Amino acid sequence: MKPKRAIPILLLHWFIAASAFGQTTQIWTGGINGTNTGTDIGQSNNWGGVLPSTVNGDYCEWNGTVPGNLSLVYNTVTLASGFGQSGINF
């Protein structure tokens, strides 16, 4: 008898559940058109033109697209979450 493989099935269920909520991963670009001059995490142009959604519980990722150390600020209130919203994950 072959052993059962529960881990792949559990991972599949996790991926299905995560995709059901509509989370996406937004990558920090630091500005549109490769300018890499942005520092405000609340501005959509610093996330490639799409602001992370607090309703869907989006993920924000710094993956080295913008090289070097980052000195970031949050000067806007665009990422504010409210009742019944998931917020975002950094």
Instruction: Domain ranges for the chain, please list them.
Output: 23-90
Share of the chain above pLDDT 90, in %: 13
Q: Between these two residues, 40 and 78, which has the higher pLDDT value?
A: 40
Alpha helices, H only, the chain: 6-20
The whole-angstrom separation of Cα 28 and Cα 42 is: 11
pLDDT digits (tens, 9 = 90+) for 23-43: 899 999 988 655 567 888 888
Cα distances (Å, whole numbers) of residue 55 to 22, 36, 49: 9, 27, 17
Give the helix/strand (H/E) hosting 26.
Answer: strand 25-27
Residue 76, both tokens: 């806007």
Whole-prediction pTM value?
0.65
Cβ proximity of 77 and 42 under 8 Å: yes
